[in-house]
Amino acid sequence: MYFVTAPFFLRWYYPKVTFNKSRKEQKVYLTFDDGPIPEVTPFILDTLAEHKIKATFFCVGDNIKKNPAIFERILAEGHQVGNHTYNHLRGWDTEDDIYLDNIAKCQQLTGTALFRPPYARAKKSQLKMLHKTYEVVFWDVLSGDFDEYISPEKCYQNVIRHVKNGSVIVFHDNIKAMPRVSYALPKVITYLKQKGYDFGAL
């Protein structure tokens, strides 16, 4: 089960986490989790370049290590990067010291001030430490592109029905998401541009 929009109780439970940016500006923030990988990330970068948009990639350290040229392309094209742990760990299921060490290992590659916990699952004890170093970013709109039981069109509708000023939108650059992100991302960008939205990196 997952929520397309961040529910009140999640915001209450994680009061210091960033779920969205300013509602005063007609601006949205595209984010991509889990890459970089050769099967998906170049397509996303090509799409962003075509539309002259900057975005934020929450990268898994192991994928950076395996695909350094794609990671360098993300940086070279002016996108922001965030830390998504080295091994895509679920914080709720991981001892604090192991989790924080894994993040530190990824940080050696990313050197970023942004962190997003995989699965949006992190213990308060972990976040207490992370808030000292990072802006911890969740999401405002979850596309659901990772869900193999929804159609590409449903993925697109998830975004356009819930987007607001300042929304932080989550897509994924992983293989499971490819059928949906390849369909939905270009359509989302076109729709939001037609509605007058600007795009920014976090």
Catalytic residues: 33, 172
Phi and psi at residue 7, to the nearest 5°: -75, 165
- The C-alpha R_g of the chain, in whole angstroms, comes to 16
Strand, helix or coil at 46? helix
Q: What is the DSSP string of 135-189?
A: EEB--SEE--TT-TTS-HHHHHHHHHHH--TTBEEEEE-SGGGHHHHHHHHHHHH
Q: Could you tell me if residue 134 is left (phi over 0), alpha (psi between -120 and 50 degrees) or otherwise beta? A: beta
* Residue 126, SS3 per DSSP: helix
